[in-house]
Chain A
């Protein structure tokens, strides 16, 4: 039985609406991200081993993801994005007291060791805590460069006397410009940790 013109007129708008709805659904199905107001900040970790079949690690973490996920984790010493460090000691050093001391001290060179086997320097300078370690000066075997923005340390210590506020630290890190935080290089390995607005570590 053929459709009359009148029936066609009734059915066609319905069919068109159905197709439009379907098209809209399919278009939203592509999962295209909503344009972001501000550029996303990414933490990158990259490990390259230069040997023939060397290991390779690439980790790209959106800082906002970490900022939102951390408060949801309640496990052992981590609660609400804060880690409890009451009397936390690393090799006999009270980590929180050390950070607090660094935070409240003026710019300057805290540690300088120049030995036959290498150099160590710890400096607070222009809003950064800089740690420089070089092993075996002559052959340049191992270099470690750590660069921590002081406002990240401030944020880390902002929670209270026996906690480190990881979420606040991540938020402070997000507000930084593109920065290389860690670089470790030896004969075979290169380790880099940095933040920028790219979603790749290339």
Chain B
């Protein structure tokens, strides 16, 4: 009996792990220079963000959707198109002090900003962007 339960738990864990892996991870890393600078490092499964959207009150989502409304279709289409494309460096800006780099790697978008004052690295799965945009679009009243 215990073996069956164990196998069930193992199967569930494997499936849950596979699902989380499939959804990808959101990574945020912010490092401000100086002794009292902010250092934030966050790694979260994208699936949690999708699930989190389900528990955010509708009023809040409506508020955000109203503000983002003009850009939601563009964001949704762009993320879907980018996901389809091969990996690429989309943007790189560099001057004496700053460097901004946006790349698409394996289904994720990576943003990298480095300056003498701070260093920011953000990566997230493109399908999450699509999912968030679609979810917000569902709160936009039909015109």
Contact = CB atoms under 8 A, between A and B. Distances in A.
Interface string B76-88: 1110011111111
Contact of B18 (A25, A32, A60): A25
Interface string B96-136: 10000000001110000000000000000111000000000
A26 B22 contact: yes
Nearest to A46: B92
Interface residues of A, number: 45
A72 B77 contact: yes
B19 A33 contact: no
B7 interface: yes
A99 interface: no
A57 interface: yes
Contacts of A65: 78, 81-82, 85
B81 A68 contact: yes
B64 interface: no
B14 A19 contact: yes
Contact of B91 (A58, A74, A75): A58
Contacts of A36: 84
Given A1-B3, A18-B11, A18-B14, A30 B106 contact: yes
A22 B14 contact: yes
Given A1-B3, A29-B22, A22 B17 contact: yes
Nearest to A45: B91
In this complex, the member of A25, A32, A55, A57 whose beta carbon has the largest number of chain B beta carbons within 10 angstroms is A25
Given A72-B74, A73-B74, A56 B92 contact: yes
B90 interface: yes
B21 interface: yes
A14 interface: yes
Contacts of B95: 53-56
A39 B10 CA distance: 44
Interface of A: 1-3, 7, 11, 14-15, 18-19, 21-23, 25-26, 28-34, 36, 40, 42, 53-62, 64-65, 68-69, 72-75, 199-201
29 contacts: A3-B3, A3-B4, A14-B11, A15-B11, A22-B15, A22-B17, A23-B18, A25-B18, A25-B21, A26-B18, A29-B23, A31-B108, A31-B125, A33-B84, A33-B85, A33-B86, A36-B84, A40-B85, A42-B88, A56-B93, A56-B95, A59-B91, A60-B89, A60-B91, A62-B81, A68-B78, A73-B70, A74-B70, A200-B89
